[in-house]
Amino acid sequence: MAVTELRLSGDATRWSYHRGIIVALLGGVGGGLIWFLAKVFLGQSALLGGYVAALSVLVGVGAAYGALLGSDRRRGIKLQIIAVTVTLACLIIFQDLVMQVHVVRLEQALADQGLRFAQEITFADRFAEGFFGTNFVDLSKVAEESGGATAVPGLIFWVIALVYSIALPRPYKYGDMD
């Protein structure tokens, strides 16, 4: 009888991790959508640019809480790995989507003037411009549209999002429960 109970317990744990992955994806994508929409529609404002960058923390918090809630509040290294992976994937994907929107806006502005880009803009170009603020191609207008110099706040808030995704599902230390 005890063997059957252990087997059922193992199956329940396995399924809770699968649910943890699914709910972490939902939480990360939900936070990413909020960040994406704010960055696309409010990011042009120099006044709101830094606050919009702070919304990237929602991706890490959403992924971490999603992993916790989906796994029936279990904690551990596996859930930390799930939360960090989902957070990184969502941050990279949504940052690329934001840069694609800005590049399309810039291409439309150039087309109105009868101009076009001299080279193809790749994922690496969009990522480097959006995250690090480098100019592999002349995307200075894209940086202006995204709220000015957002590279340093972007890096800081990505690190904060990753810290939340590591810290929230961390295992309890039973000696510290006083």
Domain assignment of residue 45, given as a range: 11-170
Q: What is the pTM of this model?
A: 0.74
Closest CA to 62 of 82, 77, 42: 82
Residue 78 lies in a domain: yes
User: pLDDT tens digits, residue range 90-127?
Assistant: 999 998 888 888 888 888 888 888 877 767 777 777 77
Task: Let me know if residue 119 belongs to a domain.
Answer: yes
16: Cβ contacts below 8 Å, ≥ 6 apart = 70, 71, 72, 74
Residue 17 lies in a domain: yes
pLDDT digits (tens, 9 = 90+) for 28-44: 999 999 999 988 888 65
Whether 175 is in a domain gets the answer: no
When pLDDT is cut at 50, 70 and 90, the band that residue 13 belongs to is low
What pLDDT, in 10s, does the model give residues 62-89?
A: 999 999 999 888 888 889 999 999 999 9
User: At 7, is the pLDDT very low, low, confident or very high (cuts 50, 70, 90)?
Assistant: very low
In a domain? residue 2: no
Whether 161 has a pLDDT exceeding 70, the answer reads yes
What is the count of structural domains for the chain?
A: 1
Could you tell me if residue 5 is inside a domain?
no
Q: Which residues of 38-70 are buried (b: 16+ CB within 10 A; e: fewer)?
A: bbbeebbeeeebbebbbbbbbbbbbbbbbbbeb
Q: What's the confidence (pLDDT) of residue 22?
A: 94
* HSE, side-chain direction, 13 A CA sphere, residue 4: 1
